[in-house]
């Protein structure tokens, strides 16, 4: 069985205590797709939920070594949704790219990719399209898929419907190609060429995996690429 590493996210309980968590939807979807899930635990001795981005220290060599040990055990990595990018997340992505580990960025994970080696540029949405739906069972808007893209190879469609749960959109990054945009011209998917699979999508295919064929195609393709890396 292939092993998929997933960095944990951080939140507050109702009583104010901070926790690290893995979304049940992410866990169940990727397990049902055939993966063994390995949580990748944050390494810095800080409160991730309450520390602002500019307050994090740079990772030490030991902290980087600990992250590398996690990555030594995986066949692929999911960069899940969340609300904050940290030096931990940035290093995980950098090492995945350097080591050509198949990586799928989802929502915040795609936004993390858009900031790779460039200025952090994530802008608040101001659009006629509903980019923040309330129901997990819906697909809220369409995206146009670039025919000269890895994403088109997977889907074999130039337009699909996607779900949408985000308040921000990204700018172009010179290290990534844009593979899809929404009707309001916001970037919805990016990918890195000459890699096994380094792709980010702004929507949540793990949420619609069980009822949307396009979401299933993306995740199943990613899992198959990870299987090839395992051989």
Residue 124 has pLDDT above 90, yes or no: no
In terms of pTM, does the model score above 0.75?
yes
Model pLDDT, residue 172: 87
Q: Which residues contact 142 (CB under 8 A, 6 or more apart)?
A: 159, 160, 161, 162, 182, 183
Assign residue 65 a region: left if phi > 0, alpha if psi is -120 to 50, beta otherwise? alpha
pLDDT band (50, 70, 90) for residue 227: very high
If you classify domain 2-230 with CATH, what class do you get? alpha beta
Residue 58 has pLDDT above 70, yes or no: yes
pLDDT band (50, 70, 90) for residue 118: confident
Scanning 135-200, the segments in alpha helix (DSSP H) are 150-155
In the chain, where the domains are located: 2-230
Model pLDDT, residue 25: 96
């Amino acid at each position: 069985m292939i092993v998929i590493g997933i960095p944990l996210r951080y939140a507050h309980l109702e009583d104010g205590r901070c926790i690290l968590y893995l979304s049940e939807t992410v866990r169940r979807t990727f397990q049902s797709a055939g993966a063994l899930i390995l949580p990748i635990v944050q390494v810095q001795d800080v409160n991730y939920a309450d520390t602002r981005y500019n307050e994090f220290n740079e990772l030490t060599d030991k902290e980087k070594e600990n992250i590398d040990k996690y990555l030594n055990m995986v066949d692929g990595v999911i960069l899940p949704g969340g609300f904050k990018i940290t030096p931990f997340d940035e290093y995980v992505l950098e090492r995945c790219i350097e080591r050509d580990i198949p990586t799928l960025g989802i929502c915040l994970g795609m936004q993390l990719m858009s900031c790779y080696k460039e200025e952090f540029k994530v802008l608040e949405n101001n659009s006629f399209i509903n980019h923040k739906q309330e129901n997990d069972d819906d697909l809220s808007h369409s995206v146009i898929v670039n025919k000269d893209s890895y994403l088109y190879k997977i889907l074999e469609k130039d337009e699909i419907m996607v779900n949408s749960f985000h308040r921000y959109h990204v700018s172009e990054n010179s290290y990534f190609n844009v593979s899809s945009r929404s009707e309001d011209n916001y970037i919805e998917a990016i990918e890195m060429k000459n890699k096994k699979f380094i792709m980010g999508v702004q929507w949540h295919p793990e949420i619609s995996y069980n009822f949307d064929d396009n979401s299933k195609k993306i995740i199943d393709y990613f899992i198959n690429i990870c299987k090839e890396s395992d051989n």
